[in-house]
Amino acid sequence: MSIIVSEIPPEGLSIDCTRDGSWFESRAPQETARRYRVDEILFHCRADRSGRRVSIRGSVEIHCSTACTRCLELFSLSLRGDFFYAMTPVQAGYEQDSDTELAEGDLEAGIYRDDLIELEPIILEQVLLQFPISAVCSENCKGLCPVCGQNLNKGDCGHSTEETKNSPFTVLKNFKIAKKGS
């Protein structure tokens, strides 16, 4: 899907679309596609033109599932983010280095050529930006027992009791270790 720049009306252009899991799998880096199983991507953007400069602002919403980095259980999560691109046409005769064009904050600078702005790379880039480095099923996830590997959210295996975890001595011990290491 692409936007034809010269056909963007004065009032701007609004685009809504969805992408499914197979779209994501065939485009995302392998490692990311293995970690996140995408059910649906909802993409919305608005393009406004001023001369040959085009601003594209919008939002992306992802419904997916992934394995918790603490307890390894699969869980569903929804991610959402906003974006804003300032696009300029590539200058005839030389290629602009898009890396040096990156502006600060959430504004991204981009280039387009031949009167066309391709939306697929924008959708993919914005989807990939939303994935957290480590996803946990819940802030209170207890993770796995380091001794037997039992999922501690499902019950205590007896290797680490609540008493030892909450004991004031444990807190004191950890504090000392942390101080020594620094």
71 binds Zn ion (CB under 5 A): yes
If the CB atoms of residues 36 and 112 are measured against Zn ion, the closer one turns out to be 36
Query: Tokens in use for 126?
Result: 């914005």
Q: Compute the distance between CA of residue 128 and CA of residue 28 in angstroms, rounded to an integer.
A: 8
Nearer to Zn ion, 66 or 126 (CB): 66
CB of 15: closest distance to Zn ion in angstroms?
Answer: 36
Q: Could you tell me how many helices (H) and strands (E) the chain has, helices first?
A: 5, 7
Rounded Cα distance between 28 and 26, Å, is: 6
Nearer to Zn ion by Cβ, of 120 and 156: the residue is 156
Question: Phi, psi (5° rounding) for residue 127?
Answer: -65, -45
Question: Contact with Zn ion (CB under 5 A): which of 19, 38, 66, 70?
Answer: 70
* Chain centre distance of CA 132: 6
Single residue of 68, 119, 124, 127 touching Zn ion by CB under 5 A: 68
Among 159, 165, 173, 176, binds Zn ion (CB under 5 A): 159
Structure tokens at 50: 């001023």
**Pick from 128, 19, 45: which is nearest to 79 by CA?**
128
Where in 113-142 is the site for Zn ion (CB under 5 A)? 137, 141
Of residues 32 and 150, the one with the C-beta less far from Zn ion: 150
- What is the contact surface with Zn ion in residues (CB under 5 A)? 68, 70-71, 137, 141, 145, 147-148, 150, 157, 159
